[in-house]
Amino acid sequence: MSFDLRMLGWTDEFQAGLPDGAVPGRVARVDRGAAEVVTADGRHQARYGAQVRRESAADPIALPCVGDWAALTLLDEGRYELARVLPRRTAFVRGGVSRDSRGGLSGDGQGQVLAANVDIVFVAEPSMHAADFADLGRIERLVALAWESGGRPVVLVTKADLFDRGLDDLLADVAIAAPGVDVHAVSSISGEGVGIVRSYLGDSRTAVVLGPSGAGKSTLVNALAEATVMETQQVRAADGRGRHTTVHRQLIPLPGGGLVIDTPGIRRVGLYEMSDGVDLVFADIEELAAGCRFSDCRHTEEPGCAVLEAVETGELPERRLNSWHRLQREAAWMARRSDARLRSEETRKWKIIHKEMRRSGRGRP
């Protein structure tokens, strides 16, 4: 089997970062200490070289992940070694990482990259979910994550065929929740919108599909792939197998061009904490907050809260403030749960707050 590297997303930019004599390959799956890579002449298992082992021991952010482009060295025995990860264009990172001033990633030894070099982030939100309508707050959260990754978010209102009361109104609401982001209605059953989704994957771009369980992600990927590359809920229910036992392909080339990355980590990515992205999505609230009397105002019941005032006057939809509160709670919860380092910081913060309270308490008449 042979592959045209360009069809796998190889660009001049990556070519420029390839050391002389190295063979380029794209990571399709990772295991401990080794990766499955796709090169121009097929699929190979490649063990990590000394540099990768050294760098990733210091900071797991340097570990190869699905979607990475790698420089491979051909060993004598015809085997490949993964010598180096080429600079990532975009990355979904979980925990402990921030972007530096140049937009690059700098880890603190805690982060993990879930997928790399993703160009398009489809945020799939079902128009109808059981008896519920689309959840605008969830769209905001996933769009925030998409921006944080460096990829371009596109919102897909899925299962559009199930929605029988004013889809245009719903799409208009979604557009408000995701400013500056394209929004499309999609039905994998009727085929509506599937062509539009495909059009984003021109020039061999790489996409992920984020969204809650049951949003129709697998069904959509199967429609794009024109084949069953992923098991949908129906199939899983039918054969009674556990939902997460299925081993499916993680880097899926589509017949019409473009690729989709799907890994268990990416599927759960919506649960992870986020910081910068939330600020971007809630720039309106951040701006209003500058007018609050207290600089650490939580916009709940504080006197002189400019955000609550804006809700009262109708300037800020109350739903948006509620979303912001929920995101703050979730982010704090996830951070507390997933990161012992943050946990100790949290303790320290509360110690300072309590000390501060005692101090100001003493100062009162």
Ligand X SMILES: Nc1nc2c(ncn2[C@@H]2O[C@H](COP(=O)(O)OP(=O)(O)OP(=O)(O)O)[C@@H](O)[C@H]2O)c(=O)[nH]1
Please report, as ranges, the residues that interact with Zn ion according to CB under 5 A.
Answer: 292, 297, 299, 305, 307
Instruction: State the nearest-atom distance from the C-beta of 129 to ligand X, in Å.
Output: 9
Pairing of strands 120-126, 206-210: parallel
Nearer to ligand X, 39 or 263 (CB): 263
- Give kind and range of the element (H or E) at residue 209: strand 206-210
- Which amino acid is present at 86? L
Instruction: State the nearest-atom distance from the C-beta of 283 to Zn ion, in Å.
Output: 15
Single out the segment in contact with ligand X by CB under 6 A; choices: 67-75, 114-122, 185-193, 354-362: 185-193
Q: Is the distance from CB of 110 to CB of 96 less than 8 angstroms?
A: yes
- Taking CB atoms within 8 Å and a gap of at least 24, the contacts of 315-319 are 316/284, 316/285, 316/288, 319/136, 319/137
Residue nearest to ligand X (CB): 216
By CB under 6 A, the count of residues binding ligand X is: 19
Single out the segment in contact with ligand X by CB under 6 A; choices: 158-166, 172-180, 336-344, 356-364: 158-166
304 Ramachandran zone, left/alpha/beta (phi>0; psi -120 to 50) = left
Alpha helices (runs of H) in 113-184, residue ranges in sequence order: 136-149, 167-177
Contacted entry of ligand X, Zn ion, none for residue 218, CB cut-off 5 to 8 Å set by kind: ligand X
CA–CA separation, 281 and 123 (whole Å) = 14
Q: Is 160 annotated to bind ligand?
A: yes
Nearest by Cα to 67 from 87, 53, 83, 50: 87
Contacted entry of Zn ion, ligand X, none for residue 299, CB cut-off 5 to 8 Å set by kind: Zn ion
With CB under 6 A as the contact rule, the residue among 87, 214, 257, 265 that binds ligand X is: 214
Q: Is the distance from CB of 215 to CB of 227 less than 8 angstroms?
A: no
188 binds ligand X (CB under 6 A): yes
Q: Which two tokens stand for residue 85?
A: 């990860």
C-alpha count within 13 angstroms, C-beta hemisphere, residue 7: 12
Q: Is the distance from CB of 27 to CB of 66 less than 8 angstroms?
A: yes
Contacted entry of ligand X, Zn ion, none for residue 217, CB cut-off 5 to 8 Å set by kind: ligand X
CA–CA separation, 188 and 176 (whole Å) = 24
250 binds ligand X (CB under 6 A): no
Sorted by sequence, the CB contacts under 8 Å of residue 197 that are 6+ apart come out as 122, 156, 184, 186, 220, 224
234 binds ligand X (CB under 6 A): yes
Single out the segment in contact with ligand X by CB under 6 A; choices: 16-24, 182-190, 285-293, 355-363: 182-190
Contacted entry of Zn ion, ligand X, none for residue 216, CB cut-off 5 to 8 Å set by kind: ligand X
Instruction: State the nearest-atom distance from the C-beta of 243 to ligand X, in Å.
Output: 7
Contacted entry of Zn ion, ligand X, none for residue 62, CB cut-off 5 to 8 Å set by kind: none
What is the DSSP-derived secondary structure letter of residue 257? S
CA–CA separation, 207 and 37 (whole Å) = 18
Instruction: State the nearest-atom distance from the C-beta of 128 to ligand X, in Å.
Output: 8
Instruction: State the nearest-atom distance from the C-beta of 29 to ligand X, in Å.
Output: 18
233 binds ligand X (CB under 6 A): yes
Binding site, annotated residues: 158-161, 211-219, 292, 297, 299, 305
Q: Where do contacts with ligand X occur on this chain (CB under 6 A)?
A: 158-159, 161-162, 187-189, 211, 213-219, 232-234, 267
Binding site, annotated residues for GTP: 158-161, 211-219
Binding site, annotated residues for Zn(2+): 292, 297, 299, 305
